[in-house]
Amino acid sequence: MNNEGEAQSPNSKLQTPNSKSRIRATHTFPREFKWGTATAAHQVEGGHTPSDWDGWEKLPGKVRGGGTAEIACEWWAGRWREDFDRAANDGQTAHRFGVDWSRIEPRMAVWDEEALDHYRQMAKGLRERGIEPMVTLHHFVNPLWLAEKGGWENPAIVSYFERFVRKVVNALKDIVDLWCTINEPNVGAYQAYADGVWPPGEKDMSACFRALRHMLLAHAAAYRAIHEIQPQARVGIAHHFEFIDPWRPDFAPDRWVAGLQNRVFNEIIPQALHTGRLAYPVGQGARGERLPELAGTMDYFGVNYYSRRSSTFDVSQAASLFGRTFHTPGAEVDNLAQNELYPEGLFRALEWANGFGLPILITENGWGDEDESRRNRALLLHLRQTWRAVNFNFRVQGYYYWTLVDNFEWERGWDQRFGLYALDVATQSRSPRPAAHLYAEVCKTNTFSADMAARYAPELLPTMFPT
């Protein structure tokens, strides 16, 4: 195997007259493959909202460097237009953007029609530019009135969310038919209710499971409501995969704990939405709870993929199911040491998702860093794994790079830069990073090639396109 995890050709030693010249391969994607970027309302819009995050991010110590989303990319002030122009000029054909519940329903059951119209204009703006819109209905942020009623811990959120979704879908249904109900329920529930680094800042595993259960029920209610309004809609969630591998694969406790963490973090959510059985492998829910209304509520499988972790058994780590996780020693990590460069994980995620028999969309994948050479490399390596998956006939139909322009990265503030375009928040000027040019070439040609690798990440040539 080479270090991309692919088998060496048995003929790799064969001498041919051209054996010194590099393979000039071009990897082509299916003609209808969608190329896009993904964004989320709170991370790009700017301005104040009556939401839980608006107050939270201003509390001392909650966000690195005291960063806030107060200005962000000024999409609420209209700069989405220029950024959508960039996406279109770069050959993108798909864009996933979010709506902010707190703008649309600033007080319980009080609707802001102007906010709805703003999102209509954005969706129309995408269509006018030849870009297919996908709308995320919930991306980590709750209206303040709802947070004050207990947020995801309150069972009433299921019907509140359904009511909100009906409002949005009715307003956008002539423009949008691709919907993501909830972004990354596993991350949202964990960060807010177990790790406590997002609002409401709880550190209680059972609160985390309760919140997760309500998220799934809310998704299912939204799924049915959307199909009632728009029978042809395609509805799913964006599910975050982070593989957790045993630190010592030959040590049974490490295998056990990594398996448990994988099941909880990566597997139970899609399985519940597929089978209607929510099976926490721990505690009271270990036998599985029958929730038949969840079954069959994904029209596509949305995969968000960034990284993996290693895990070792540690009795002192009850909050993380007795596993201490860390990045694989020696692995390349980003500037905040948050994500590990492990592109094979994308293939593994797609392979696992493919088992559900649904079309797959890579609803997020990207690299947030200060090191430009790593960003190009990360992009090419993940595209290679996407292409491999397509060639294994996994039903991967599109790729949304996270993200178009640098944005507010939650508790990491502005210290993690994922944008194809670098943003100067103070002046609002955007400048294309090399990865923007690389990705534009990919989108416009529907390929990636040895020639692109030679120009954007030549260090990849020996393994990706060997002599």
Binding positions for ligand IFM, rule: CB under 6 A: 40, 43, 184, 304, 364, 402, 409
SS3 364: strand
Choice between 344 and 406, CB closer to ligand IFM = 406
Q: Dihedrals φ, ψ of 319, to 5°? A: -65, -25
d(CA 84, CA 95): 9
**What spatial distance separates the first Cα and last Cα of the chain, rounded to whole Å?**
16
Using the Cα atoms of residue 54, residue 58, residue 63 and residue 65 in order, give the sign of their dihedral.
Answer: positive
The alpha-carbon radius of gyration of the chain (Å, integer) is 22
Contacts of residue 201, Cβ cutoff 8 Å, sequence gap at least 6: 56, 192
Residues 438 and 379 sit within 8 Å (Cβ to Cβ): yes
Residue 419 in tokens: 């944008």
- For residue 379, list its beta bridge partners: none
d(CA 79, CA 166): 27
Residues 149 and 98 sit within 8 Å (Cβ to Cβ): no
Cis check for the bond before 403: say yes or no (omega within 30 of 0): yes
Residue nearest to ligand IFM (CB): 40
DSSP 110: B
Nearest to 370 by CA among 406, 324, 329, 317: 406
For 281, counting Cβ atoms within 10 Å of its Cβ (0-12 exposed, 13-18 middle, 19+ buried), the class is middle
Nearest to 407 by CA among 433, 426, 425: 425
